[in-house]
Amino acid sequence: MTIRGSFALLAGMLAWGIFANTASAQYRTVTAADVVDLSPTISIKRYQYWPGGQLHHPPLVVPYIPHGPGPWASDLLLLDENTATQTDTPAHMMAPQNSGLPNAHYWGGLTGDKVPVWQMLGEVFRVDGRDMLDKSSAGVSPLFTVDRVKAVERTRRPIRAGDAVLYWSGYDDRYDRPLPEGKCLIIDPMAGTAPGWPAPNYDAAEYVGSRGARLMGIDSPSMGALGSSQYALPGPAGMFQNPLALESHLGHFKYGAIHTEGLMNLDKVPDGALYISLPVKHENSPTVETRAVAIVNPELAASLLKAVNGKRVVDLSVLLSMQHPVWWPGAGLGNHVFPYHLVQPVNYFDGPFGPYWVNTHIIDSRTGTHVDPPAHYGPPPGFDPARYDESVRTVLAEFEAKHGKLKPTTTTSEKIPLHHLMGPARVINVQHRVGTTDRTTWPASPAITVDDVKSHEKLYGPLKAGDVVLFHTGHTDTHFRRFERGEPDRCVKAPLDGQTEGWSAPTPEVIVYLAEKGVKHVGIDTPDMGSVNPKEAMMTHWAAVNHDVIFTEYLIGVGQLPPTGAFFIFLNPKIENNHGGPGRAIAILP
């Protein structure tokens, strides 16, 4: 261990008051029965996007990098923020405070990247509206009213700060179907040929916000109700008048609340469960593609909620913007994947289809903080290895001689078992590896070894099945910066080109060792789990394929976590046949 590494390890131990053989208490591991998925699969075969204004578009997943001749596959994602499960922030319907536009408000600047992560979790408080389903006239929404909300409070308890208030009718469970039947989800109600989806009116939404709740959700396509406005806008503002849908949103937003639309499976989520809704961290986006889940194990939910209510939640995700190194530039010239693009705005408040703001995104499936499912490097069934180029086939032969035949897989990101995306965090400090390569060998990455893992276990106890292992290298904390003219990108591009040392990366033997311990999820605060050396990167990723291990890459701020005791969660939008998955990583502290 270098002197720098020794001081880094000691500083971390002092910060948390943790020394050898004094591991802190941990949250329990997660099983498949402990967590419920609340998001439908995003698919071009389903009409899950917003049709209004002639500006929105369907989700497109383009498999533009296939297996062969290279070793991995990736997709190009074109995502409208208003697709399937999505988070609306106040900026979606509230113009900036000093803009002079209708509905301008203090909370008009609160976009998804500015919402504190603790606000994205809460205790489930369901408002049951199943009896309203399909009970209204065509093109009109049945309404959650103040009286209905208060009736639930009388039978359970008053709504309070820290609650996730979920409006529950079962609408999406019934109508989110493949086309052509799927028209009944959004198109038929908007066309006035079917009853509208249930949603709150302004008074109900305003009342819920007044009780202190700052997180809401609904299992309808929108929190906005269909029907005539109940509050007319006077004077010039009337030209921007939206029907009831605008009012439904504003009732929550006036309190700085956020809400999730397009949920499912609320019948499987009891009151008191932990609701988690994590939007992708796009810079300056008002409504964001999201994955929502609920932890329904009473013991685990209660212990996590104590920390959430204490705001002991930290964000571990890099910011997605066109001014940051969040996509893969490749080594040399012409080897990049599609750069991150934000189309901003698709619609804005003072446009002909106002008053609301929405963006769209064009991104590679491995942009920013993201998950690598087995299918990213693992070939599909029936794949002929002869399709790899000679250099990949050479490395594959060496890998298979050491680790066995490479397994085919169909596990794209939406097929990852949900409980594998979260669990007790074991943070392994490997900052001592930084600076240990010889400049003459660059591009090269310092190797994280099995001995590094065993050293951690000696200090903090053996790893257990269900743990999420996070390697803390410090790379993104040091090098993730906005682009500057004349300055190299030391986070991704310079290491790949050998201008600086590569980020630290685990060997394939490390992945095998972790898998044998029962670890299914490994994260790292570098752009990639693999070395900047392509051969080493292939070996590490293929080891994960053979053991059904998933990687979360490009974390930041991992040093905020103790070596043991935190709870890690990564969630990505549930996109069909996605070979990666940009998403959001957080940790709940002890």
Report the C-alpha gap between 561 and 467 in whole angstroms. Answer: 14
Q: Residues 465, 375: one domain?
A: yes
**Which sign does the torsion angle of CA 564, 567, 573, 576 carry?**
positive
Q: Which of 309, 325, 348 is the last residue of a domain?
A: 309
pLDDT at 234: 64
For every one of its 590 residues, what pLDDT tens digit does the chain have, with 9 covering 90 and above? Answer: 444 444 444 444 444 444 333 345 589 999 999 999 999 999 999 999 988 666 888 899 999 999 999 999 999 999 999 999 999 999 999 999 999 888 889 999 999 999 999 999 999 999 999 999 999 999 999 999 999 999 999 999 999 999 999 999 999 999 999 989 999 999 999 999 999 999 999 999 999 999 999 999 999 999 999 998 888 766 655 545 557 888 999 999 999 999 999 999 999 999 999 999 999 999 999 999 999 999 999 999 999 999 999 999 999 999 999 999 999 999 999 999 999 999 888 888 887 777 889 999 999 999 999 999 999 999 999 999 999 999 999 999 999 999 999 999 999 999 999 999 999 999 999 999 999 999 999 999 999 999 999 999 999 999 999 999 999 999 999 999 999 999 999 999 999 999 999 999 999 999 999 999 999 999 999 999 999 999 999 999 999 999 999 999 999 999 999 999 999 999 999 999 999 999 999 999 99
Residue 65 lies in a domain: no
Q: Are residues 434 and 556 in the same domain?
A: yes
Do 161 and 22 lie in one domain? The reply is no
Shared domain check, 374 and 301: no
Residue 242 covered by a domain: yes
Cβ atoms 431, 474 nearer than 8 A = yes
Q: 150 lies in which domain range? A: 83-309
467 within domain boundaries: yes
63 found inside a domain: no
Token output for 148: 């209905």
CA dihedral of residues 42, 47, 49, 50 (deg, nearest 10): -160
Tell me which of 309, 326, 350 is where a domain ends: 309
The strands making up 60-65's β-sheet, listed across from edge to edge, are 60-65, 74-80, 358-364, 341-347
Of 293, 309, 325, the one marking the end of a domain is 309
CA-nearest of 288, 363, 327, 281 to 75 is 363
B/e letters for 113-135, b = 16+ CB within 10 Å, e = fewer, are: bebebbbbbbbbbbbbbeebbee
pLDDT of residue 16: 47
Domain count, the chain: 2
Domain for residue 338, yes or no?
A: no
Could you tell me if 416 and 523 lie in one domain? yes
In whole angstroms, give the CA distance from residue 97 to residue 535.
Answer: 53
The model carries a pTM of 0.94
Q: Does 71 fall in a domain?
A: no
**Using CA atoms, how far apart are residues 584 and 216, in angstroms rounded to an integer?**
19
User: What's the pLDDT at 238?
Assistant: 57
Q: What is the CATH number of the domain that holds 287?
A: 3.50.30.50
Q: Are 401 and 550 in the same domain? A: yes
In a shared domain, residues 445 and 382: yes
Question: Could you tell me if residue 273 is inside a domain?
Answer: yes
According to DSSP H, which parts of 66-160 are helical?
A: 146-155
169 lies in the same domain as 284: yes
Q: Is the residue at 336 inside a domain?
A: no
State how beta strands 584-588 and 447-448 pair: unpaired
Judgement on whether residues 411 and 279 belong to the same structural domain of the protein: no
Instruction: Answer yes or no: do 304 and 385 share one domain.
Output: no
List the structure tokens of 394: 């050479």
Say yes or no: 264 and 157 in one domain. yes
* Residues 243 and 148 reside in one and the same domain: yes
Q: Classify burial at 541, counting beta carbons within 10 Å of its beta carbon; exposed 0-12, middle 13-18, buried 19 or more.
A: buried
